[in-house]
Structure 1
Amino acid sequence: MRIGFFTDSYHPYTSGVVRSLEIFQEELRCRGHQVYIFAPNYPDCPPEEDVFRFFSIPAVTQKNFTLAVPLSPTLSRRVKSLELDIVHVHSPFLLGSVGARWARRLGLPLVFTYHTRYEEYVHYFPFFPQVSRPVVRYYVRDFSNRCNLVVAPSGSMAEKLQGDGVRSPVTVVPTGIRYARLQGGEPGWLRHRYGIPEGVPVLLYVGRLAREKNLEFLLEAFQQILRQEPECRLVMVGSGPAREELVRRAARLGVAGRLVFTGVLPPPEVANCYQGADLFLFASLTETQGLVLVEAMAAGLPVVAVQAGGVTDVLQDGRQGFISQEKVQDLAAKALLLLRDPELRRQMGARARERAQEFTAERCTDRLLAAYNLVLTQETRFSRAG
């Protein structure tokens, strides 16, 4: 099968969307399928085989993020020469719209993955959120209804899309994880690298440092935890536009001395962090799946996360950890309960590993290929585009 991925973000930028693209294209290529990536360009980005980069400009509101200019004099020749079987877009905006246009021109099936709750990211837009939120919701619904198939990363997101008025078929395909790779790692690496003494509890967050991740709430919960466990550390792996504000917020809360910002780490070192921590904390309310939750669980970490769509599709309350209300005291209390009970942590960690096996890259790619085969057997090819 010859598949065209059109995306508004790709490496070297780091995000859950980019991670999903990397995992699926790697697994699809291992199975003999050909995957072609159409993506923005980034400074000093080396050429890659089967990756077509668009001229791009820096985004004003996000450092290291670029916006593709959806025009290219060579695009028509390139797309036609590939003889694609299916177009899979990973954004409804710039390059997603380019992919949709070419699917219509070539009479190809169009698949769209709803990776992001876009209306929750309007603080990055250069106009008022109260105006842009409903506009974005309407636009995404309209784009979805011009696709042959919409992929939701979780059941709760599928329900949301249908509740928002999406009439196109919606199927659930989570992003998978490389389970075996997360079983490895060096448990002592994290403490050695960041000078954390043995016996000191380590809490872990992995992800972008961004407003939509609800990280100020997480710092407030950490402040509560420190009142009971004053030697505890919170390690935050990742980078993003909110980093400097989080540093200032940590200082105001008096937790800066117990907080570690690692910046972006390569995957093997992220695996080391999972192996070296005692507990994973997560407070985001905007996830479509929560891929890092599955990664943490695969490494045997129990999780305490705020109740939200996407999170509850992965984490079973009382089984692999706890689901908290969006209350600082509740998240802190559940984290403290696990920190003080090593046997409960062990039991929940074992169940977390078992649960994570349901989200392997192999299983999730099976589901994606089943979705592709479904739309390929349909007689209509993008007939709704009109």
Structure 2
Amino acid sequence: MNIGIFSDVYFPQKNGVSTAVKLYKDEMEKLGHNVYLFIPKYSKNYKRNEKNVFEFPAIKFLFEKEQRIALPLSTDIFKIKDLNLDIIHSQDPFSMGIFAEFMSKLLKIKHVGTHHTMYEYYRNYLPLIIRPTLKQTQRMIRNWCLKLDKVISPTNNIKDLLVSYGVPDDHVIVIPTGIDTEKFNKEIIWNLRDEYNILPEEKVLLFVGRLGQEKNIDFLIKVFHKVFHEERNIRFVIIGDGIEKNKLEELVVDLDLHERVIFTGSQPRENVIDAYKQADLFIFASYTETQGLVVLESMAAGTPVVALGKMGVYDLLNHENAGGIMVKDLNEDIFVHEILKVLKDENLYNTLSKNAINFVKENYSIEVSVRKIIDVYKNVLEY
């Protein structure tokens, strides 16, 4: 099968959608399919060494420098027809998603899309003068979904949300974004403790993700401040970058935690996986996750999770024996209680760690997810 994947984000951008697209492409190619990726060009100086990737001129999004707005004005447009695509799979409704819709109609190719992101919670990145209302954003999402031949949702929770917006129930298929579990079995190369002088007896709490307001990292830092008063041999490692970094660093200084909290900045994926495996506990309080890939990745590494149970994360941790503890509300004291309980109870910790690995392998491997996506393609092509 010849598959065209259209996305507005891809590596070197580090986020859940970039990871998902890379995993889709690699696994589909392992199965013998030809996968062609259409993305914005990241920068003039960034040289990509990957086959079947078509880059289009792009400009930086004014209000979020890591994001790109593609301008599909390239001679590569004329090459698309020669690829004989069987299916188009778009990952968002923006510049490349619009281009995907155009090519789908022009070439009469079926068009599937995945709803990765809760765009409603990202409106604050736009200035008020051009910021859509909540209703307008929901209408945009609904209209995009209705133009697709089928919508893929990572969780049942997100499917229910799309249905509430007016998307027909049978138009949405739930397929979790999988994890490449084999990569979590490799030996550790990046020694996090050596690099940041973390003592052997010190516990490590970990957060991985973009440093944005919706991730509630300031809440996690305040939680860590309280944990530190109960458990002195502990550090908090924050991996990622974003517009909130300066504010978060200031908060760390204000709370006198500058020797306890480590900001590593963005890291290569291999380093991130090594960090999961060296951490003692992963903590997460985002309320915008359609699935929460970083939560799954931590569990794949055998590192238990204490996380806010909203949206996609709820669908993960609501399962019995999932390998994590779900906190229902943003309550600092409850978070602190659950973190300390896991760290101090060795039997509980070991049980959560074992359950986490098994839960991901059995339910969220990339092999299982991609085979389900290919089945969606086949079903769409039959109509």
Fold shared per TM-score above 0.5:
yes
Structure 2 match to 1:382: none
Secondary structure class of the residue paired with 2:147 = coil
Structure 2 match to 1:180: 182
Return the match for 1:329 from 313, 322, 333. 333
Return the match for 1:353 from 357, 371, 383. 357
Q: Percent identity?
A: 33
The offset of 1:241, in angstroms, is 1.8
Structure 2 match to 1:343: 347
Does the C-alpha gap of structure 1 residues 131 and 316 become closer, same or farther in structure 2, counting only changes over 3 Å? closer
In structure 1, how many angstroms separate the alpha carbons of the residues matched to 2:274 and 2:139? 42
The offset of 1:45, in angstroms, is 2.2
Structure 2 match to 1:92: 93
What TM-score, normalized by structure 1, do the two folds share? 0.94
In structure 1, how many angstroms separate the alpha carbons of the residues matched to 2:177 and 2:223? 29
Does the C-alpha gap of structure 1 residues 128 and 153 become closer, same or farther in structure 2, counting only changes over 3 Å? farther
In structure 1, how many angstroms separate the alpha carbons of the residues matched to 2:145 and 2:275? 38
Secondary structure class of the residue paired with 1:65 = strand
Residue type matched to 2:134 in 1?
R
Residue type matched to 2:176 in 1?
P
The offset of 1:130, in angstroms, is 7.1
Return the match for 1:208 from 210, 225, 228. 210
The alignment status of 1:376 with 2:376, answered yes or no, reads: no
Residue type matched to 1:81 in 2?
D
CA contact (8 A) 1:185 1:275 kept: no
CA contact (8 A) 2:56 2:74 kept: no
Gaps of 5+ in 1: 379-386
Moved more, 278-287 or 77-86: 77-86
Does the C-alpha gap of structure 1 residues 73 and 239 become closer, same or farther in structure 2, counting only changes over 3 Å? closer
1:111-153 CA-to-partner distances (Å, cap 9, x unmatched) read 0100100111111123358743321211110111111100001
The offset of 1:75, in angstroms, is 4.4
4+ runs deviating over 3 angstroms: 128-132, 316-319
Matching of residues 54-93 of structure 1 within 5 Å: 54-69=56-71, 71-93=72-94
The alignment status of 1:166 with 2:170, answered yes or no, reads: no
Matching of residues 1-386 of structure 1 within 5 Å: 1-43=1-43, 44-47=45-48, 48-69=50-71, 71-127=72-128, 131-167=132-168, 169-186=171-188, 189-316=191-318, 319=321, 320-324=323-327, 325-357=329-361, 358-378=363-383
The offset of 1:11, in angstroms, is 1.4
Does the C-alpha gap of structure 1 residues 119 and 128 become closer, same or farther in structure 2, counting only changes over 3 Å? farther
Aligned residues: 377
The offset of 1:256, in angstroms, is 2.3
C-alpha RMSD of matched pairs (Å): 1.7
Secondary structure class of the residue paired with 1:63 = strand
What TM-score, normalized by structure 2, do the two folds share? 0.94
The offset of 1:183, in angstroms, is 2.5
Secondary structure class of the residue paired with 2:252 = helix
The offset of 1:271, in angstroms, is 1.9
The offset of 1:106, in angstroms, is 1.6
Residue type matched to 1:194 in 2?
Y
The offset of 1:64, in angstroms, is 2.8
In structure 1, how many angstroms separate the alpha carbons of the residues matched to 2:364 and 2:127? 37
CA contact (8 A) 1:213 1:283 kept: yes
1:272-325 CA-to-partner distances (Å, cap 9, x unmatched) read 211111111010100000011111111111110011010022124773121112
